[in-house]
A and B are shown apart, each in its own frame.
Chain A
C-alpha cells in the first residue's frame, strides 16, 4: 500500500496559506524567537509555463513542492539544506543572459528569452539522485540541451561542454567564503550533452523555477549525481579538453568528472548501494540505488569500454 503524505492531501496553495497563517500568527504574538524558528514562506510562486508532456518520464509519484523547494544543495546560498530556500528569495534572475563560446560557428551572448524562444517546454518527471545517498522524483520543465547546443553549430573540435554559474558574492552569500573554487563549473562530454535525456531546465511543477532550485536556467542529467546539474547558468563553452569541474578540483579522490550514479562504486566515506527517498517517511527503509539511476537502457552505451571504477 502506498503511504499518502499530508502535503499531497492538502492542496499546494492551502498548504502555503496555512504556513503563512502560522507565520503571521507567530509574528503577531511577538515571539521573535518563535517566528524565526518557523519555516519561512517560499518566494512568490513563479508564473505558470506552457508545457507539453515530454518523453522519458517515470511514473513514480513526484515529491511534494515543499520537498523539492526546501531541501536543496546550492552552496552559493549556503551549505545547509534549507539555506537556499531561506537565502535565495531576493536573487535577481531578470534580465539574464548566457554567453556561448568556444569551439562553435555561432558564439555570442543571448538573453534568456532568446535562449528559450525556439523550444517547446516539456514536462519531464525524472528521478534525482544526490551523491549524498538521498533521492527525489522531480517534475522538471525544460527542453533537450542538445537542441539548444545545435543552434550554435559546434565544430568537430567540440569534445566537451563546460558550464559556469553566475559569480556574484553580493547576491550569493555562499560565494563569500572559498569553500569551493567559485564560480561553480561543471562539464559533460559532447555525447552526454547531446543525449536526449539531458535537459535544460527552466521550471518545476509546471511553474518557473524557484531561485533555490537554480533559476532561471539549470542543467539536469538524470543518470548522474545531482551536483552535475549546475544551476543559474551564465556561460556555456564548447571545449577540446575535459573541463575541470568544481567538485573534482575540491576533492579529486571523492568526486570525478563522470559522476554517474553507480551502486557498485562507493564514495570513499559512504556507500552508494542504497538511497533514502525523501518524503518516504521516518520509518521507511532505504531503497536500492539503480545503475545509472535507472536510466541504464538509455545511456549505458555511452560508456561502453570505460572502466567506471576509475572514471567515477
Chain B
C-alpha cells in the first residue's frame, strides 16, 4: 500500500471510530427524534462501556488478522484503535464518576473498594493509562524492547474488562459470554501460533 493510500485510509478509519460518539451526541441532543431514553446517564455509561470493550477487542484482532491475511500494513492501525479503546473507556469512567456519582470521591472510592466488578474495571482503566501515555513514536523509541513488554499489559486488561462486564450483569449473561468467546479466540490464536504451531513446523 502506498503512503498516500495509507494516509487516506487512516483518516477514514479515524472517522469511523468516531461514529459511536457521534450517534451518542445526536441522541443526547435529541436530533431527529433520537434519544438516550428515560435514563440517559445509565445509557451513556453502558454505551461508552460497550464501545470501550469493542475497541479493545478490535485492537486485539489486528495481529491475528495480519497473520491470517499477510497484510502487514494492518499493524499501522493498531495504535489508533487502542487509543480509541482508551478514549471510550475513559468517557465510560467520567460519565460514571461525574454524572452518576457527582464526582463524590468518597462514594467513588467506596465503590472501587467494595464492589468487586468496579475494582476489576478500575484496575483495567489504571493499567490502560501507561499504555496510552507511551503510545507516541518518541516513547516507542525511548523504551525500545521494553515498550513491547509493557504493551503486553493489554492482555490482562482485556481479561479484566470482560470479567468486569460479566460481573455487572444482573441476570442475562449471554452478551458477556459472547465477549468471553471472542477474547478466548483472540488470545488462544496467539498461544496456538507461538507454542503449538511453531512446535510442529510444516
Contact residues of A with B, CB < 8 Å?
19, 22-23, 26, 34, 37-39, 66-67, 70-71, 75, 79, 81-82, 132, 134, 177, 179-180, 250-251, 269-271, 276, 278-279, 282-283, 285-286
Is B15 engaged at the interface, CB distance under 8 Å to the other chain?
no
Question: Which of chain B's residues 77-129 have a Cβ closer than 8 Å to chain A?
Answer: 99-102, 107, 110-111, 115-117
Known: A66-B38, A70-B38. A180 touches B33 (CB 8 A): no
Partner of A38, one of B34, B39, B167: B34
Contact of B171 with A22 in the complex, beta carbons under 8 Å: no
Task: Give chain A residues whose Cβ lies under 8 Å from the Cβ of B101.
Answer: 286
Contact B33 A26 (CB under 8 A): yes
CB closest chain-A residue, reference B35: A39
Contact B41 A37 (CB under 8 A): no
Interface residues in B104-160 by Cβ distance below 8 A to A read: 107, 110-111, 115-117
Whether A269 and B117, one on each chain, are in contact in the complex, defined by CB atoms closer than 8 angstroms, is yes
Report the Cα distance A286→B32, complex, angstroms: 29
B168 at the interface (CB under 8 A from A): yes
Among A23, A70, A251, A270, contact of B37 (Cβ-Cβ < 8 Å): A70
**Residues B34 and A179 in contact, CB atoms below 8 Å apart:** no
Chain A residue with minimal CB distance to B173?
A179
Does chain A have a CB within 8 A of B170?
yes
**A34 neighbours in B (Cβ, 8 Å):** 32
Scoring B residues 32 to 63 as 1 if CB is less than 8 Å from chain A, else 0, what string do you get? Answer: 11110111111000000000000000000000
Residue-wise, chain B 150-190 has the 8 Å CB interface mask toward A (1 for contact) of 00000000000000000110111010000000000000000
Whether the pair A282, B40 counts as a contact (CB closer than 8 A) is yes
CB-nearest residue of chain A relative to B174? A177
> Is the CB–CB distance between B38 and A71 below 8 Å?
yes
Give the complex CA separation of A75 and B115 in angstroms. Answer: 25
B41:A282 contact, CB within 8 angstroms: yes
Query: Given the complex, which residues of A lie within 8 Å of B100, measured CB to CB?
Result: 276, 286
How large, as a class, is the contact surface on chain B?
20 to 34
Cα separation A26 to B32 with both chains bound (whole Å): 9
A276 contacts B39, CB within 8 Å? yes
Chain A residues in 8 Å Cβ range of B170: 79, 132
- Contacts A134-B39, A177-B174, A276-B41 given; 19 further ones with Cβ under 8 A? A19-B33, A26-B32, A26-B33, A66-B38, A67-B38, A71-B37, A75-B171, A79-B172, A81-B38, A81-B39, A132-B170, A134-B42, A250-B171, A269-B116, A269-B117, A278-B38, A282-B28, A282-B41, A286-B101
**Is there contact, CB below 8 Å, between A179 and B41?**
no
Q: Is the CB of B33 within 8 A of A22?
A: yes
Q: Chain B residues in contact with chain A, CB under 8 A?
A: 28, 32-35, 37-42, 99-102, 107, 110-111, 115-117, 167-168, 170-172, 174
Q: Give the nearest-CB partner of B175 in chain A.
A: A79
Closest to B44 in A: A282
Contact sample, A vs B, 10 pairs, CB 8 Å cutoff: A39-B35, A67-B38, A70-B37, A79-B171, A81-B39, A177-B172, A177-B174, A269-B115, A270-B115, A283-B99
With a cutoff of 8 Å between Cβ atoms, the chain A residues found around residue B171 in the complex are 75, 79, 179-180, 250-251
User: In whole angstroms, how far apart are the Cα atoms of A278 and B32 in the complex?
Assistant: 22
Give A81 to B39 CA distance when docked, in angstroms. 9
CA A179 to CA B174, docked complex, whole Å: 9
Q: How far is the CA of A149 from the CA of B167 in the complex (A)?
A: 41
Bound together, the chains give a CA A166 to CA B151 distance in angstroms of 53
State A19–B33 Cα separation when bound (angstroms): 7
How far apart are the CA atoms of A217 and B113 in the complex, in Å? Answer: 43
Contacts of A286 in B (CB 8 A): 100-102
Q: Judging by beta carbons under 8 Å apart, are B33 and A39 in contact? A: yes
Find chain B residues with CB under 8 A from A279 CB. Answer: 38
Instruction: Give the residue name and chain of the B residue nearest to A79 (CB).
Output: B172
When chains A and B are docked, how far (Å) is the Cα of A71 from the Cα of B38? 6
Kindly state the separation between the CA atoms of A115 and B34 in the bound complex, as whole angstroms.
41
Which chain A residues border B174 with CB–CB below 8 Å?
A: 177
Complex CA gap A22/B171 in Å reads 35
